[in-house]
Amino acid sequence: MKQSMSSGETLDAGTARFYRVTLEILMDAGIPFLVGGAYAFSKYTGVTRDTKDFDLFVRRVHARPALKALASAGYYSDLTFPHWLGKAFHGDASVDIIYGSGNGAVPVDDAWFERSVPDMILDTPVRLCPPEEMIRSKAFIQERERYDGADIAHLLLARGDQLDWRFLIDRFGPYRQVLLSHLVLFPFIYPDDAFRVPTWVFQELVAGLGESNPRKRKKSKVCRGPLLSRQQYLIDIGSWGYEDARLLHPGGMTKRDVAHWTAAIGKE
């Protein structure tokens, strides 16, 4: 028997129970969490995807307690990638406990919770990841096998006139060019909806390009490519002498994190 989530996704009874029990376990344990992934994306955009995982976002300090609580309830749990992701399993279904990003540049912090959006899932009151943070985390996913640019375009189409653009720009910090790269494509994809991205946003981001002029920076050979793709820039940092930007930004990855993340390519 299938059960429908409020986003339109249908779940078999066992998976629906697993998800509902997971929410109850975390609530009983006093662990704050947000719902993201395909569910939140569907709620914001109307684009529905049937998936076998359920993405819950927590602060880093709550990741291990969340996994421990799920393990105590009998679900197999694993700290899959210590720098950003753990998982709990029930049959073919899984719950992702996410507290950062694969590139280490987008940690889940208080701002996610302060701007979260209330919702109901499986008769349970929850809060969704804010669309600004979904855009920020998706903006860096530019692998050969996965590129989340279309997701960002759909979020801009559905929520562009409601976004806190000042907040979004500031959240990208020194990586504002990544945001600009997606915004440049939006009016190409949706020429009749270009107004959803305010003109001042483009003007500010374009004006800031001069700040990244190599002649104004200290001499160094840094490659930021690994922030976008863990695979496609391995030659740059492995053979061409470039420093890996993932190791340089505040709160970034360790060499051990990078090695673990790289070793998993093609195995997930």
Q: What is the three-state SS of 152-183?
A: HHHHHHHHHHHCCHHHHHHHHHHHHHHHHHHH
What's the pTM value of the predicted model, to 2 decimals? 0.93
* Chain center to CA of 36: 8
- Confidence (pLDDT) at 10: 73
What's the pLDDT at 155? 98
Q: Which string of DSSP letters, residue by residue, matches 20-42?
A: HHHHHHHHHTT---EE-HHHHHH
CA nearest neighbour of 154 among 40, 9, 51: 40
In a domain, 252, yes or no: yes
The pLDDT value recorded for residue 249 is 84
CA 17/CA 201 separation, integer angstroms: 44
pLDDT value for 63: 98
Q: Are 92 and 132 in contact (CB under 8 A)?
A: no
Confirm if 129 and 116 have CB atoms less than 8 A apart. Answer: yes
Total domains in the fold of the chain: 3
Angstrom distance (rounded) from CA 223 to CA 28: 44
Q: Are residues 34 and 75 in the same domain?
A: yes
Strand partners for 88: 77, 95
Structure tokens at 253: 């990855």
Residue 218: predicted pLDDT: 57
Strands (E), 28-115: 34-35, 53-57, 76-81, 85-90, 93-98
Q: Which domain holds residue 46?
A: 2-129
Model pLDDT, residue 5: 61
Is residue 268 included in any domain, yes or no? Answer: no
Residue 112 in domain: yes
**Quick check: is 257 in a domain?**
yes
Residues 113, 7 within the same domain:
yes
Domain for residue 163, yes or no? yes
Separation CA 108–CA 87 (nearest Å)? 16
Domain membership of residue 98 (yes or no) is: yes
Counts of helices then strands in the chain (DSSP H, E): 11, 11
**What tens-digit pLDDT sequence spans the chain (268 residues)?**
455 565 556 778 899 999 999 999 999 999 999 999 999 999 999 999 877 789 999 999 999 999 999 999 999 999 999 999 999 999 989 999 999 999 999 999 999 999 999 999 999 999 999 999 999 999 999 999 999 999 999 999 999 999 999 999 999 999 999 999 999 999 999 999 999 999 999 999 999 997 655 545 556 799 999 999 999 999 999 999 999 999 998 888 999 999 999 999 988 7
* CA 175 vs CA 107, 181, 219, 268: distances in Å: 14, 10, 19, 27
**What CATH number should be reported for the domain holding residue 119?**
3.30.460.40
Report the pLDDT value the prediction gives residue 12, as an integer from 0 to 100: 86
- Does residue 59 sit in the same domain as residue 112? yes
